[in-house]
């Protein structure tokens, strides 16, 4: 069914923020708050990383050789699967 398809989608693309959040909501409704929390936290981390990546890209336009910013960008890209 749809839930199985959604779980398969999460396995194929674990970096899909929407899928992670939706799975979290479904697991909450199923009475599995620990599993729900894991998916919701993943979605939250990826959302925060996505916004910070956008900020860093803007900052790096002004200072492209900044090693600290580049290092942070590299680490955040791993969180979002890039």
> What average pLDDT is seen over the chain?
94
> For residue 22, what pLDDT is reported?
93
- For the record, the structure tokens of 73 come out as 């960008």
pLDDT, position 20: 93
| Rounded CA separation 80/47 (Å) | 8
The backbone region for 16, taken as left when phi is positive above 0, alpha when psi lies in -120 to 50, beta otherwise, is beta
Model pTM? 0.84
Is the separation of the CB atoms in 43 and 76 below 8 Å?
A: no
Q: CA-CA distances (angstroms) from residue 8 to 11, 28, 35, 76? A: 5, 18, 16, 25
Q: What is the pLDDT of residue 3?
A: 86
Kindly indicate the confidence band of residue 1, based on its pLDDT and cuts at 50, 70 and 90.
confident
pLDDT of 2 higher than 90: no
Mean pLDDT for 8-31 is 93
Average pLDDT over every residue of 11-20: 91
Structure-block tokens of residue 2: 């749809």
């Amino acid at each position: 069914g749809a839930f199985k398809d959604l779980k398969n989608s999460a396995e194929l693309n674990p970096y899909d923020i929407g899928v992670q959040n939706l799975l979290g909501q479904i697991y909450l409704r199923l009475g599995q708050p620990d599993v729900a929390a894991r998916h919701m936290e993943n979605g939250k981390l990826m959302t925060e990383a996505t916004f910070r990546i956008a900020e860093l890209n803007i900052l790096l336009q002004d200072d492209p050789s900044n090693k600290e910013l580049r290092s942070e960008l590299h680490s955040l890209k791993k969180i979002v699967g890039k």
